[in-house]
C-alpha cells in the first residue's frame, strides 16, 4: 500500500521595499549679503589718578601692617636644635688655668723632671750640709748648699718649660687645645702662669728645706748671722724665670730638641765664653759682662758666695725679667700670626 505524498509548501519570500525616490540635483544659492562691521567710537574718559593714589573724593587709608613671612626650614631646624642639659658658661682664664694644670700634672715628663730636680737640689744640698762645719756658715747663708744642686737642677726646669709647649706641637694635641679654647693668647698665658707657680713652689721649697736642715745641723757663735730667707725667694724666682724663658722659646721654635739645645746654649755658653774673650783687649769688656751676668754667676751672687758683693743679684734678676718678657712677647706675637 502506497503512502500519499505530502505536497511541498512554497517558501515565504521577504517583502520587497519600494525604490527610494531620486533626489533633485542641488541648485547653488547666491551668498547672503553681510552687514558692514561697526566702527569703534571714541568715548571720552575722565583722567585716572596716578598709580597708588586714592580716587578723588576719598581719604587715603593707612597702609596695612606687614605680615611676617613664615620661618624657613633651616630656621625651624635651628629652633628645634638639641639643647644640652649641661649648663653652658662663658669661658675665661680660670678655665684655661684649670685645663693646663690638669695637663701638666698628668704627664710623665713633669714627674721625671721635677723628681730629678728635687733629687739634685736636696740630695746634693744634704751632702754638702753633712760635709761642712759650723765655721763655714759664718759669712754665708744656710742655703748655700742648695746652690750646688741648683747649678744642675736648673736644667731640669728648662727642660720641663720647653716640654710644656713644644710637646703638644709634636703630638698634634695643640689643635685640640685651640679648638677647645680658640683664644690662643689665653692658652699661652695659662701655660706660663701654671708653670711659673709650679716651678717657683718646687724650687723655693727645696731651697728652704736645705736651709732649714743646715740651720738645724750647724750652730755656734757667729753662725747664721747672714740672712738666708731672701735667697729662698730670689733663688726660686731666678730658676723659675729661666723655665718660663724656655717655655717661650719652645713656643716660638715648636721643636723640643731645638728649644732645649738653644736654652742650654744660653745658660752654658756665657759661662764659658769669657775665658776666650779675655784673650783680646777689644772683647775683654764683653767677656767681663758675660761673666757677671751668666746663669751660674747670677746664682752665686744671689746666694752671697762672695761677701764683697752687696748687690744680692738684683741686676741679674732684672736682666732675666727683661729677657723673659721679650721672649714671651715674641711668643704671643708668633702664636697669633702663624698657623697651628
Q: How does pLDDT run across 306-340, given as a tens digit for each residue?
A: 765 566 788 899 999 999 999 999 999 999 898 87
Answer yes or no: is 76 within a domain. no
Residue 88 lies in a domain: no
> For residue 101, what are the domain limits?
94-337
Residue 32, pLDDT score: 53
* Residue 38 belongs to some domain of the structure: no
Task: For the chain, 340 residues long, give each residue's pLDDT as a single digit of tens.
Answer: 444 444 444 444 555 555 554 554 544 554 555 555 555 555 555 556 565 556 666 665 666 666 666 666 666 655 665 666 777 778 788 989 999 999 999 999 999 999 999 999 999 999 999 998 888 888 888 899 999 999 999 999 999 999 999 999 988 899 988 888 889 999 999 999 999 999 999 999 999 999 999 988 887 776 777 788 899 999 999 999 999 999 999 999 999 999 999 999 999 999 999 888 888 888 888 888 888 899 999 999 999 887 655 667 888 999 999 999 999 999 999 998 988 7
Are 129 and 145 contacting, i.e. CB atoms less than 8 angstroms apart? yes
| 250 occurs within a structural domain | yes
> Can you tell me the distance from the alpha carbon of 233 to that of 40, in angstroms, rounded to the nearest whole number?
113
What is the enclosing helix (H) or strand (E) of 275?
A: helix 274-277
What pLDDT, on the 0 to 100 scale, is given for residue 182? 87
Q: In this structure, is residue 216 part of a structural domain? A: yes
Q: Is position 44 within any domain?
A: no
Classify residue 60: in a domain, yes or no: no
Total number of domains in the chain: 1
> What is the distance between the alpha carbons of residues 199 and 222, in angstroms, rounded to a whole number?
33
pTM (two decimals): 0.73
Please indicate, yes or no, if residue 158 is contained in any of the structural domains.
yes
Amino acid at each position: 500500500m502506497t503512502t500519499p505524498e505530502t505536497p511541498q509548501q512554497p517558501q515565504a519570500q521577504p517583502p520587497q521595499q519600494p525604490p527610494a525616490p531620486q533626489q533633485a540635483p542641488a541648485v547653488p544659492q547666491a551668498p547672503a549679503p553681510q552687514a558692514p562691521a561697526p566702527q569703534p567710537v571714541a568715548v571720552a574718559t575722565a583722567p585716572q589718578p596716578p598709580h597708588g593714589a586714592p580716587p578723588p573724593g576719598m581719604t587715603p587709608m593707612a597702609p596695612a601692617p606687614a605680615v611676617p613671612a613664615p620661618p624657613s626650614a633651616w630656621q625651624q631646624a635651628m629652633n628645634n636644635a638639641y639643647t644640652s642639659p649641661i649648663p653652658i658658661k662663658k669661658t675665661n682664664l680660670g678655665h684655661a688655668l684649670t685645663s693646663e694644670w690638669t695637663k701638666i700634672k698628668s704627664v710623665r715628663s713633669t714627674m721625671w723632671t721635677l723628681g730629678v730636680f728635687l733629687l739634685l737640689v736636696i740630695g746634693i744640698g744634704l751632702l754638702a750640709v753633712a760635709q761642712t762645719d759650723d765655721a763655714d756658715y759664718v759669712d754665708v747663708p744656710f742655703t748655700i748648699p742648695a746652690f750646688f744642686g741648683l747649678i744642675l737642677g736648673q736644667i731640669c726646669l728648662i727642660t720641663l718649660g720647653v716640654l710644656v709647649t713644644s710637646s703638644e706641637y709634636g703630638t698634634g694635641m695643640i689643635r685640640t687645645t685651640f679648638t677647645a679654647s680658640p683664644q690662643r693668647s689665653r692658652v699661652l698665658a695659662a701655660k706660663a702662669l701654671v708653670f711659673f707657680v709650679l716651678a717657683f713652689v718646687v724650687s723655693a721649697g727645696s731651697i728652704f728645706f736645705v736651709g732649714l736642715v743646715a740651720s738645724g745641723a750647724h750652730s755656734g757663735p757667729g753662725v747664721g748671722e747672714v740672712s738666708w730667707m731672701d735667697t729662698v725667694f730670689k733663688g726660686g724666682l731666678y730658676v723659675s724665670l729661666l723655665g718660663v724663658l724656655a717655655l717661650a722659646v719652645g713656643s716660638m721654635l715648636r721643636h723640643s730638641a731645638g728649644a732645649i739645645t738653644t736654652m742650654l746654649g744660653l745658660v752654658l755658653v756665657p759661662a764659658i765664653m769669657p775665658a776666650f774673650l779675655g784673650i783680646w783687649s777689644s772683647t775683654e769688656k764683653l767677656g767681663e759682662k758675660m761673666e757677671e751676668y751668666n746663669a751660674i754667676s747670677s746664682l752665686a751672687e744671689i746666694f752671697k758666695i762672695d761677701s764683697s758683693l752687696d748687690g744680692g743679684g738684683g741686676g741679674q734678676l732684672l736682666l732675666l725679667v727683661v729677657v723673659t718678657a721679650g721672649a714671651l712677647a715674641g711668643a704671643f706675637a708668633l702664636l697669633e700670626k702663624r698657623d697651628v
